[in-house]
Amino acid sequence: MRIKSIFSNSGGILLSRIFGFIRDLTMASILGANTYSDIFAVAFKLPNLFRRIFAEGAFSQSFIPSFISAKYKSIFSAKILTRLLLFIILLGIMVNIFSYQITKILAPGFNTNTLAMSAKYVALQFWYLPLIFLVTFLGALLQYKEHFATTAFATTLLNIALITAMLLYKNAPKEQILLALSWGVIAGGILQVAVHLIMAKKLNVLKIIFIGFKKFNAKQKQVQADTKRFFANFFPAIWGNSTLQVMSFLDTWLASFLVSGSISYLYYANRIFQLPLALFAIALSIAIFPSVSKKIKAKEQAKALREFKRGFWILLYLLTASTVAGIIFSKEIIWLLFEHGAFTRHNTIEVAFVLQMYLIGLIPYGLNKLFALWLYAHHQQSIAAKIATISLITYAFFAFLLIKPLGAQGLALAGSISGIASFVLTIKQFGIDKMADIIDFSRTVKFGIILSIFTLLLLFINIIWIHI
């Protein structure tokens, strides 16, 4: 296992989250919480949704196994690039033509004037999508070369571009700030593409693409089977990787029927929950996926399983530590990050309870990210999509069941139950026998002892903290 790659991904994600937090603080200071900040949030919703889906592996989890299996790798990569980029550009044109109607779907509560104002920013920011696709495509080829640092740290550039745009136009009228922010989104995408092109040239990745285009017309028919298999896996992979985002939308919709502040409680708690999930589970999964895919293609199943065993125990320790610490110090975490200004002690307590409900699902969600790779590496994206669908249905059932007695906490708990269901189904598909080999008795006993000592230590620290 490449520990350096895991730390590169974790470091990049952490840096991006830090700059994202600075971006939110800067925006709150310059734009405030009003119609203009709502307009930007709506305009940024689509590009941010696609960024999260692509960045968390929907493309690479389909592309890398197909690329490894392809006989004519350069032609295959050129064909995928051409088809998807053309589709995204055409989609961008449609969004620009029907921007008002799309904005109305995204924000049905906006009045006519606000919709008209928002539509132009929705249209402009959508052009971030082809840029982030190029980033994802080049990033997948760099991952094949087992280089991860560029993609991990490049995500920070978007936040830097947005912060810079706000600081340059902080004294301008609000509409001009919105326009500057929208162009900041595009500038961030261009910067991300630029650093990927530089590294792709350095690692001879661009050479693969150029050769593919050179031989494209002569041999494109020879990669038809590979292309068909990629697209058969790609769309289920998108669905399999987007369930958390869909749940987030459903959370917001259902919470709108609860007491005032419920949507904010879920938003702030989910921001904390997503941090260890991204830092550990997503970072590790991205780092080992190319290596595991290559071993499976070479029919080295035992070596691939050893990678999974190391990954499982590393993740289990990190996610368990995060869960225990997060639950014990939930109030302190929220107090430290958010309790100032209009954010009251009552808000801190409510968000802390919601965070505890989310954290129940951190371990299953995180481990599911790892074991789902086995399905993706075996071209079983459709099975992963079915599991994701069952997971979403489970969430909906428990959300409607728990929303009345528990409110926002019930929605968060429903998400955790959904994560547990998804993990159980993934393990069943992975194989109970293989899972039994990963969880050996001596390691489990050692883990239990360390967990008990760690939990008691944190409880002792918490008691001291309360009495200071």
Coil, helix or strand for 292? helix
Q: Is the pLDDT of residue 468 over 60?
A: no
**Residue 158 or residue 26, greater confidence:** 158
Question: Rounded to whole angstroms, how far apart are CA atoms 416 and 412?
Answer: 7
pLDDT score recorded for residue 94? 92
Q: Do 134 and 156 touch, CB atoms closer than 8 A?
A: no
Residue 148 lies in a domain: yes
Question: Rounded to whole angstroms, how far apart are CA atoms 243 and 424?
Answer: 16
Q: Give the residue from 154, 181, 214 where a domain finishes.
A: 214
Residue 229 lies in a domain: no
State the DSSP H helix or E strand holding residue 65, giving kind and residue range, or none if neither.
helix 60-69
Q: pLDDT tens digits for 51-99?
A: 766 655 667 777 888 888 888 888 888 888 998 899 999 988 998 998 8
Residues in Cβ contact with 461 at an 8 Å cutoff, skipping those fewer than 6 apart:
none
Task: Say whether both 61 and 194 belong to one domain.
Answer: yes
Cα angle for residues 226, 229, 234 (degrees, 5° grid): 120
- Is residue 218 very low, low, confident or very high in pLDDT (cuts 50, 70, 90)? low
- Is residue 252 very low, low, confident or very high in pLDDT (cuts 50, 70, 90)? low
Question: Rounded to whole angstroms, how far apart are CA atoms 314 and 151?
Answer: 22
The rounded percent of the chain whose pLDDT value lies above 90 is 24
pTM: 0.74
Task: Say whether both 362 and 455 belong to one domain.
Answer: yes
DSSP assigned state of 278: I
| CA dihedral sign, ordered 429, 430, 436, 440 | negative
pLDDT score recorded for residue 466? 63
Q: Nearest 5°: phi and psi at 350?
A: -65, -45
Q: Is the pLDDT of residue 261 over 80?
A: no
Q: pLDDT tens digits for 14-59?
A: 788 788 878 877 776 776 556 776 677 777 777 777 776 665 566 7
**Domain encompassing residue 248:** 235-461
Residue 467 lies in a domain: no
Task: Say whether both 240 and 209 belong to one domain.
Answer: no
DSSP letters, 87-134, are: HHHHHHHHHHHTHHHHHHHH-TTS-HHHHHHHHHHHHHHTTHHHHHHH
Task: Say whether both 190 and 241 belong to one domain.
Answer: no
Question: Rounded to whole angstroms, how far apart are CA atoms 115 and 262?
Answer: 25
Task: Say whether both 149 and 240 belong to one domain.
Answer: no
Q: Is the pLDDT of residue 424 over 90?
A: yes
Residue 261 lies in a domain: yes
Residue 426 lies in a domain: yes
Task: Say whether both 178 and 259 belong to one domain.
Answer: no
| CA dihedral sign, ordered 257, 360, 414, 20 | positive
Task: Say whether both 366 and 326 belong to one domain.
Answer: yes
Task: Say whether both 60 and 148 belong to one domain.
Answer: yes
Residue 228 lies in a domain: no
pLDDT score recorded for residue 260? 63
pLDDT score recorded for residue 443? 81
Task: Say whether both 200 and 265 belong to one domain.
Answer: no
CB atoms under 10 Å from CB of 335, counted, come to: 18
Question: Rounded to whole angstroms, how far apart are CA atoms 341 and 344?
Answer: 7
Residue 221 lies in a domain: no
Q: Give the residue from 158, 184, 214 where a domain finishes.
A: 214
Q: Is the pLDDT of residue 235 over 60?
A: yes
DSSP assigned state of 222: G
- Is residue 128 very low, low, confident or very high in pLDDT (cuts 50, 70, 90)? very high
**Residue 20 or residue 142, greater confidence:** 142
Residue 220 lies in a domain: no
Q: pLDDT tens digits for 267-302?
A: 778 878 988 888 888 778 777 777 777 787 777 778
Task: Say whether both 276 and 421 belong to one domain.
Answer: yes
Question: Rounded to whole angstroms, how far apart are CA atoms 436 and 129?
Answer: 42
Based on the structure, what is the number of domains in the chain? 2
Question: Rounded to whole angstroms, how far apart are CA atoms 259 and 33?
Answer: 19
Q: Give the residue from 214, 243, 258 where a domain finishes.
A: 214
Task: Say whether both 291 and 338 belong to one domain.
Answer: yes
- Is residue 219 very low, low, confident or very high in pLDDT (cuts 50, 70, 90)? low
Q: pLDDT tens digits for 343-402?
A: 678 888 888 999 999 999 999 999 998 888 888 877 787 888 889 889 999 999 999 999
Question: Rounded to whole angstroms, how far apart are CA atoms 230 and 212?
Answer: 17
**Residue 256 or residue 49, greater confidence:** 49
The rounded percent of the chain whose pLDDT value lies above 70 is 89
CB atoms under 10 Å from CB of 3, counted, come to: 11
Q: Do 186 and 131 touch, CB atoms closer than 8 A?
A: yes
Task: Say whether both 255 and 167 belong to one domain.
Answer: no
* 101 burial level (CB within 10 Å; 0-12, 13-18, 19+): exposed
DSSP assigned state of 431: -
Q: How far is CA 43 from the centre of its chain?
A: 19
pLDDT score recorded for residue 1? 52
Q: Do 272 and 355 touch, CB atoms closer than 8 A?
A: yes
pLDDT score recorded for residue 322? 92
